[in-house]
Amino acid sequence: MLEYDVVVIGGGPAGMAAAIAAYDSGAKTLILERDVRLGGILNQCIHQGFGLHYFKEEMTGPEYADRFRKEVEKRGIDVMLEAMALSIGEDRTVTALSPEHGLVKAKAGAIVLAMGCRERTAGAIALPGMRPAGIYTAGMAQKLCNIDGYLVGKEVVILGSGDIGLIMARRMTTEGAKVKLVLELMPYSSGLKRNIVQCLDDYGIPIKYSHTITRIVGNPRIEGLYYAPVGADRKPILEKEQYVSCDALLLSVGLIPENDLINGSGVEMSPVTNGAAVDENRMTSLEGVFSCGNVLHVHDLVDNVSEEAGIAGSAAARYAKGELKCGECVNVTAKDGVRYALPQRVNRGEGKVRLFFRVDNVYKGARLVVESGEKTLVGRKFQVLAPGEMGSVDIEKSDICGDIVVRLEK
Amino acid sequence: MEKFDVTVIGGGIVGTAVLDRLSRYQLKALLLEKCDDVASFTTRANSGIVHAGYDCEPGTLKAKYNVLGNPLIWKEAEELDVPHLKCGSIVVVGEDGLDGLKELERKAKANGVEVQILDREETLKLEPNVADRIAYSLYAPTAGIVSPYQMAIGYADRAVSNGAKIVLEAPVTEIRSKGGEYILSTPKGEFSTRLVINCAGAHGADINDLAGAEHFETTYRRGDYFVLDSTERKNVNTVIFPLPTAAGKGILVAPTADGNVIYGPTAIDTNDSEDVASSLDSLDVLRASVPLTYKRPAFNKCIRVYSGLRTLIGHDFVIGKSKLRENFIMAIGICSPGLTSAPAIADEVLSMAQETLHAEKKAEYVTVMPRHKRIKELSEEEIEKLIAEDSRYGRIVCRCEKVTEGEIVDAIHSPLPATTVDAVKRRCRAGMGRCQGGFCGTRVMQILSRELNIPLSEVKKGLGANIARYRVKEVE
């Protein structure tokens, strides 16, 4: 039985940042990473645009990951690679499987969940028609392209406008493929505005909002697909069905926090984020178990992941040492155009808390209001708020005088 | 040209079961399959239900082989180490449905099948999540679930272990007679055989035509399904049917032997033997129908949709010797309950074949196959021991289903080797979980590439379609 103050499950950007913060707070720390190297999904994100906020410089995904990997190495933090966490026992014992060490049991003073997210699949959206070869999640096509060196097709359609899909539209284009069309079910993109501009507009790739696929054609390989505009109920209007030929379809239709490890374990989950409900320390309803990064809620920017993981990591270290003070909590709820706010609970006390939020539609000139009890803590007008861009506001704990509500005034 | 005593055409559940029987005799037995794996069409896309046999019209072949096949498939699933569960089935009805259940009870009695009519309270004890309107059910304790494709793969593996030969990607394109033997032409060469057994599923009537045997009109009935996340498994205990209709057994809610839940199938008549495209309206039928029997539908937990085809020749199975061609046996038109009936059909076909072959049993043959190593099912001590012997059982490749590299390598080197991503998936479930191979797909491809010694771009999803198509920087 191994014993650590903090066991971090996942060695991607969240896990590394959490482990570094935990170590720097004096905790004996272990990272369990299921892949052969640290870095997680950043390793296949070879495009620019990482680190602008966190490091104030622009770098690629692997470069961003490397910064953190070097910090992990410099500190001599224990890392177990190819180690897949299988379960968390009641006494916070993590069981993992590894080819090198067999079944590993690590007893932890605190656990940080940092398993990231997975992509929603063709099956999850019940994509109609045939189920041939040539349909890939954008991330799988990205791995094949950037890690393995293979291109999945030459005539490409992309369903969904998540950031990975947009990035892959550009990547496939620069590799010589023709990206014929991007289809988005919603009337707006779920990706960052900058990616719409830099990955589609700059390359003249058309995007059709409020459109979806009605039928996949081809066997054993995709030959094309039918698509149609959708009505207000998001159901396709079949009379307006059109056909486009393609030899590959990429899906960028959403990311789902990968919480298999705690789903069904009684940890309170948010039905909106599909991650755990946490307090400002990112502690879940299970004492001593923290969550951060995309396993908590899906982020747009890795910079925010690093920041959040730092909070979780240092809090986990303090918890393991018995130094984390948890006072009386107030609940944080979202309404009136705000889809969710995180953390979902805040402990009363002293200090600043940054509330992250995501809206449910595109709003121009709306005012974001944060209220606590009878008091208005924040009232800030935003030029544009979009579902694809997470927002944040800071509040002072000392101002809290009751449950917190985050809402929009349109 | 290689000469065989007997050749089975078609590697679905019936063809593989027949080959399994033949492989125990001193015979040169061959199976020709048009796809790159067995169980590649009808057998891979059905409900996976072991039917009790209460609903078949008494006196039909369906009734006969279903009732005979039920105990056999339970026994053989055990022998072949194929996931199965005798969980029972219920046909559920509202207040007005009791007459329908009594009619089924009458048929059950005629067929010799044990059933019991339950009231709502008794039904809820078995299945707490039946819809609120359900007032009665017909409980069949001998029904249950089995992995249909693993059953066929299990038969194929056992047949190969016992010396039979399987040639894949070998659609039969011509059948001619020469000196009292049949010559079968395929893209993999010509094969000579004394006896032909037609188990060609959706193409059974075509094979009959090629041989000049009886001509049959075939129709098809497509069925779409939803597969739900394994997190839904805890909500379903038994196979839940509505009352059967002329179109079939109706839209069921059932656990799968691999630990998921399925909703389906619909019943859409088609003339196209390849039409397995799910349709929006058909999926909407499922969304509307499931709540009629089951109160916890969770379409948002869907991880996959699939469609299968029932092949219909008249109203019953066609099993027997051709009257037009000598030494030509047919087991075609095998729609539901074909999976349950397959072992009994295979026994019957074997005795018909023996009238020609008169073969002696082999002195030794395998009945109980070696157990598959599945990390998910082992104790901690067993896992430790296994990894100490071979560290590849400690390397999880498929995260959702917890499938290790060792299990994938086993699938690739099984008696009937898996040579495609789909074939690996059917054998060990890598890629069959909630991420649908999003993470492990490329890793499975790399293992196939390494084990088969082929470039990554040659690794197929299945049915000849590759996945990594072009090298980067290679596009003109």
Tokens of A158: 């992309």
Which pairs from B214-219 meet CB under 8 Å and 24+ separation? Answer: B214/B322, B214/B323, B214/B324, B214/B330, B216/B313, B216/B314, B216/B318, B216/B332, B216/B333, B217/B313, B218/B273, B218/B311, B218/B312, B218/B313, B218/B333, B219/B269, B219/B270, B219/B271, B219/B312
- Six-digit token pair at B125? 């004890």
What mean pLDDT is reported for chain B?
96
B460-473 pLDDT tens trace:
998 888 888 888 87
Helix intervals (H) in B329-428: 338-357, 380-389, 405-412, 421-428
Q: Inter-chain contact A129–B278, Cβ cutoff 8 Å?
A: yes
**Across the interface, which of A97, A124, A176 has its CB nearest the CB of B394?**
A97
Per the annotation, the verdict on B413 as an active-site residue is no
Chain A: residue whose CA lies nearest to B302: A124
Other beta carbons less than 10 A from residue A6's beta carbon? 33
Summarize pLDDT for B335-365 with one digit per residue, the tens.
Answer: 999 999 999 999 999 999 999 999 999 999 9
CA A130 to chain B, closest CA, distance in angstroms equals 4
Separation between Cα atoms, residue A315 and residue A279, nearest integer Å: 11
Enumerate the residues of chain B whose CB falls inside 8 A of the CB of residue A177.
475
ipTM: 0.94
Mean pLDDT over B29-51 rounds to 97
Q: What pLDDT, on the 0 to 100 scale, is given for residue A326?
A: 79
Q: Which of A40, A38, A11 is nearest to A118 (CA)?
A: A40
Residue B475: pLDDT above 60?
Answer: no
C-alpha A8/C-alpha A191 separation (Å) is: 29
Q: Residue type at B411?
A: A
Amino acid at site A137: T
Residue-level pLDDT at B99: 96
Domains of chain B listed by start with CATH number: 89-141+219-312 (3.30.9.10), 375-466 (1.10.10)
Shortest CA gap B258–chain A (Å):
17
Domains and CATH numbers, chain A: 1-118+255-326 (3.50.50.60), 121-253 (3.50.50.60), 327-410 (2.60.40)
For residue A103, give how far its alpha carbon lies from the nearest alpha carbon of chain B (Å).
6
**Half-sphere exposure (CA, 13 Å, Cβ side) for B406?**
19
What does the pLDDT average to over A93-117?
A: 97
CB within 8 Å: B472 and A151: yes
pLDDT digits (tens, 9 = 90+) for A64-82: 999 999 999 999 999 999 9
The rounded percent of chain B whose pLDDT value lies above 70 is: 99
Among candidate residues B51, B84, B203, B372, the one labeled active-site is B51
Q: Would the CB atoms of B274 and A133 count as touching at under 8 Å? A: no
What pLDDT, on a 0 to 100 scale, did the predictor assign at position B474?
65
Q: What pLDDT, in 10s, does the model give residues A119-173?
A: 999 999 999 999 999 999 999 999 999 999 999 999 999 999 999 999 999 999 9
Q: pLDDT grade, residue A325 (50/70/90)?
A: confident
B161 touching A (Cβ < 8 Å):
no
Hey, of B436, B440, B448, B474, which one would you mutate to test binding to chain A, going by the most A CBs within 10 A of its CB? B436
**Chain A residues within 8 A of B388 when measuring between CB atoms:** 102
The Cα of A357 is separated from the nearest Cα of chain B by a number of Å equal to: 24
Which residue in the set B303, B442, B475 is minimally distant from A154, CB to CB?
B475
pLDDT digits (tens, 9 = 90+) for B369-428: 999 999 999 999 999 999 999 999 999 999 999 999 999 999 999 999 999 999 999 999
Given CB atoms, is B472 within the 8 Å cutoff of chain A?
yes
Closest residue in chain B to residue A97, using alpha carbons only: B394
What are the chain A neighbours of B278 within 8 Å (beta carbons)?
126, 128-129, 131
pLDDT (tens digit per residue) in A204-253? 999 999 999 999 999 999 999 999 999 999 999 999 999 999 999 999 99
To the nearest whole Å, the CA of B445 is away from the closest chain A CA by 11
Out of B375, B441, B472, the one facing A140 most closely (by C-beta) is B441
Q: Which residues of B touch A263 (CB under 8 A)?
A: 231
Q: How big is the CA angle at B465 (ends A151 and B306), to the nearest 5 degrees?
A: 110
User: Of B314, A273, B422, A397, which is closest to residue B408 (Cα–Cα)?
Assistant: B422
**Partner A contacted by B227 (CB < 8 A):** yes
pLDDT of res. B468: 87
Please name which of B131, B119, B206 lies closest in space to residue B171, comparing C-alpha atoms: B206
A–B CB contacts, 8 A cutoff, strictly below: 157
Contacts of A217 in chain B (CB under 8 A): 277
Cβ contacts of residue B219 below 8 Å, gap of 6+?
B269, B270, B271, B312
pLDDT score for B245: 86
Residues 390-429 of B with CB under 8 A from A: 391-396, 399-400, 402, 404-405
Contact B464 A139 (CB under 8 A): no
The mean pLDDT of B443-459, rounded to a whole number, is 96
DSSP codes of every residue in A99-111: TTTEEEEEEEEEE
Q: What confidence score (pLDDT) does residue B463 get?
A: 86
State pLDDT tens for residues B179-219: 999 999 999 999 999 999 999 999 999 999 999 999 999 99
Contact B304 A132 (CB under 8 A): no
How high is the pLDDT of residue A170?
A: 97
Nearest by CB: A121 against B384, B435, B465 = B435
Asked if A124 lies within 8 A of B388 by C-beta distance, the reply is no
Helices marked H in B51-203: 61-80, 98-111, 120-126, 148-161
Q: Which residue has the tokens 């070998």?
A: B170
